[in-house]
């Protein structure tokens, strides 16, 4: 009996030991499996994280690319006007062509060589492939508008699709990128076209807070001789100037033509108001000589779009005519 008992105890013990061994075996297998899962999960997390950073990085860089390609496209438009003496018939269309293809009317612009938005896409594509990503862009729309009198706004609607070569994950995103180009330093196309390329003037915002003090018109004359610009809603905007449109815009700017400079370059003077879009345009409203100014210094009394300010008001010469 005792012997049976002893044998029975031994069985329990061995069973117990076997259970421990079994448990250890299961534990060991399960630890290994968990490790593999964790490892996979970690790789995926890192990969997704990398893609996420790349996508947000590209989104940031698009703005820089749009600015660079947009800036250069605008210069190319101006350069085209300077070179040909002809206004741009459709600024938006030509801008699109330059921005993407680097051509204007089918002709390559030296300014956009390796500087188009498509060139940037190619470079980003290369960067993506270095980290085994596939990136595709779709350009939905591009528009160039006047943000305010002194800035051009470039909107690029772009779709971005990023996927991993291992097909772990993918991003699909539509975004509108907006860049602004300051007009300071850009050449006014009206001057160069209307003077057969003899006279140019760059857009520089006037720094005079007032033009006339009593009978002192020195600021007004400085403003004129310096070729400075001022906002006036009866005047054409910069983009309108590129198209040779002398109409009015809410973002209009204007300068006063230095007739003496024109004459010094052999251009005969017209007896008109020296407000640039009137002097070079076909309208010829009544003009008034400003007392104390050279004989050619004449201003008209046209109103702005809101009809609450005239040129005589703007230049503070109501009491000097």
Partner 1 sequence: MAVRYRKGSGNNVSWSFFCLQKKGFFFTVDALLAASILLGGLIILSSNYISTQPTIHLNYLSQDIINCLDTLKINELNNSYVDGLIANGNITDTNNSILQQVGEFWAAEKFEIARMFMGNITEDILPDRYGFGMWISEDLIYQRDNPPPSSRSSARKLISGIEKKKPVKGFISKARANNFIKVGTEVISFSPEGAGWEGDFSNPGEVVIQKYFELPANINVTNSTFYVSLHMEDDGPDWQVININNGLCTINRDQIDFFGGEEGTFDIINIAGCIHNGTNKVTLRLRNPGYNGHIHPGMLIKVDYNINESTQTYNNTFSKRYYFDNLTSNEGSTHQSGAWASLPFYIPEDAVNISVSMRIAGKNIRNYTGSGTFSSWSGWKYMRDYDYILFVNGGSPFASSANPAANPVYSYNSSQISSKLVDGTNVVSVYFNNYGDSSWGGGHPQIYSDPINYPNNSSYVEVNYSLPQAVAPYGSIKITHFKEFGGSANWLKETSFKFPQQAIEMGDVFTHIVQQYSYIVDVRADTYTPPSHLVFTSPSSRAVPTTVFIPGSVLDLSSTANNYVRVSDRNYNEILPETSVEYSFYVPSFVGYRNVFATQNEAETDALSRLNQTVGVFVSAENLVVESSEMRDVPTMWGPAVMEVRVWH
**Contacts of the segment 214-219: beta carbons below 8 A, 24+ positions apart:** 215/291, 215/292, 215/320, 217/290, 217/292, 217/293, 217/317, 217/320
Q: Is 261 in the site for partner 1 (CB under 8 A)?
A: no
User: To the nearest whole angstrom, how small is the minimum distance from the Cβ of residue 295 to partner 1?
Assistant: 22
Applying CB under 8 A, among 47, 79, 151, 208 the residue interacting with partner 1 is: 79
* Encoded tokens for 59: 């989104």
Burial group, residue 154, by CB count within 10 angstroms (0-12, 13-18, 19+): buried
Q: Is 175 in the site for partner 1 (CB under 8 A)?
A: no
Which residue, 200 or 313, has its beta carbon nearer to partner 1? 200
Using an 8 Å Cβ cutoff, are 198 and 268 in contact? no
Rounded Cα distance between 94 and 74, Å, is: 10
Subset of residues 196 to 215 that bind partner 1, contact rule: CB under 8 A: 196-198, 200, 202
User: To the nearest whole angstrom, how small is the minimum distance from the Cβ of residue 104 to partner 1?
Assistant: 12
How many residues of this chain interact with partner 1, rule: CB under 8 A?
58
Q: Is 33 in the site for partner 1 (CB under 8 A)?
A: no
Subset of residues 213 to 242 that bind partner 1, contact rule: CB under 8 A: none
Which residue, 115 or 233, has its beta carbon nearer to partner 1? 115
Q: Is 83 in the site for partner 1 (CB under 8 A)?
A: yes
User: To the nearest whole angstrom, how small is the minimum distance from the Cβ of residue 110 to partner 1?
Assistant: 6
Helix 2-84 × helix 91-101 angle, to 10°: 130
Rounded Cα distance between 142 and 159, Å, is: 12
**Residue 124, strand partner residues:** none
User: To the nearest whole angstrom, how small is the minimum distance from the Cβ of residue 102 to partner 1?
Assistant: 11
Applying CB under 8 A, among 33, 40, 175, 265 the residue interacting with partner 1 is: 265
Helix 117-130 × helix 91-101 angle, to 10°: 30
Q: Is 144 in the site for partner 1 (CB under 8 A)?
A: no
Which residue, 245 or 261, has its beta carbon nearer to partner 1? 261
Residue in the block written with tokens 């509108």: 176
Rounded Cα distance between 163 and 248, Å, is: 48
Classified as helix, coil or strand, 29 is helix
Q: Is 48 in the site for partner 1 (CB under 8 A)?
A: no
Q: How far is CA 127 from CA 36, 44, 150, 169, in A?
A: 31, 20, 36, 18
Q: Is 6 in the site for partner 1 (CB under 8 A)?
A: yes
**Residue 181, strand partner residues:** 152
Subset of residues 112 to 131 that bind partner 1, contact rule: CB under 8 A: 114-116, 119-120, 123-124, 127
Residues whose CB is less than 8 angstroms from the CB of residue 197 and which lie 6 or more positions away in sequence, other chains included: 82, 85
User: To the nearest whole angstrom, how small is the minimum distance from the Cβ of residue 69 to partner 1?
Assistant: 7
Applying CB under 8 A, among 35, 159, 165, 291 the residue interacting with partner 1 is: 35
User: Where do contacts with partner 1 occur on this chain (CB under 8 A)?
Assistant: 3, 6, 9, 13, 16-17, 20-21, 24, 27-28, 31-32, 35, 42, 49, 53, 57-58, 60-61, 64-65, 67-69, 71-72, 75, 78-79, 82-86, 110-111, 114-116, 119-120, 123-124, 127, 185-187, 195-198, 200, 202, 265-267
């Amino acid at each position: 009996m005792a012997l049976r008992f002893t044998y029975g105890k031994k069985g329990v013990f061995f069973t117990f030991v076997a259970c421990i061994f079994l448990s250890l075996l299961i534990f060991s297998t399960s630890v290994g499996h968990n490790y593999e899962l964790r490892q996979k999960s970690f790789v995926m997390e890192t990969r997704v994280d990398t893609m996420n950073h790349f996508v947000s990085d590209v989104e940031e860089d698009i703005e820089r690319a749009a600015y660079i390609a947009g800036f250069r496209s605008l210069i190319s438009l101006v350069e085209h006007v300077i070179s040909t003496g002809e206004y741009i018939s459709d600024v938006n269309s030509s801008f699109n062509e330059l921005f993407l293809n680097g051509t204007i009317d089918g002709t390559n612009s030296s300014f956009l060589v390796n500087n188009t938005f498509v060139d940037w896409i190619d470079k980003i594509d290369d960067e993506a492939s270095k980290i085994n990503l596939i990136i595709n862009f779709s350009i939905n729309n591009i528009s160039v508008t006047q943000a305010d009198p002194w800035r051009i706004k470039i909107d690029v609607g772009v779709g971005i699709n990023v996927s991993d070569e291992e097909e772990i994950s993918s991003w699909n995103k539509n975004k509108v990128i907006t860049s602004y180009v300051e007009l300071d330093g850009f050449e006014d196309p009206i001057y160069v076209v209307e003077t057969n390329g003899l006279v140019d003037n760059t857009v520089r915002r006037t720094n005079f807070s007032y033009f006339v003090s009593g009978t002192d018109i020195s600021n007004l004359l400085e403003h004129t001789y310096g070729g400075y610009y001022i906002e006036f809603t009866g005047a054409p905007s910069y983009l309108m100037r590129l198209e040779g449109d002398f109409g009015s815009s809410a973002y209009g700017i204007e300068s006063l033509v230095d007739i003496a400079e024109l004459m010094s370059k052999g251009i005969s003077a017209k007896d008109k108001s020296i407000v640039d879009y009137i002097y070079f345009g076909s309208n010829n409203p009544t003009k008034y000589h400003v007392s104390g100014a050279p004989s050619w210094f004449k201003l008209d009394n046209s109103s702005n779009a809101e009809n609450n300010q005239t040129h005589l008001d703007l230049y503070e010469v109501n009491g000097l005519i």
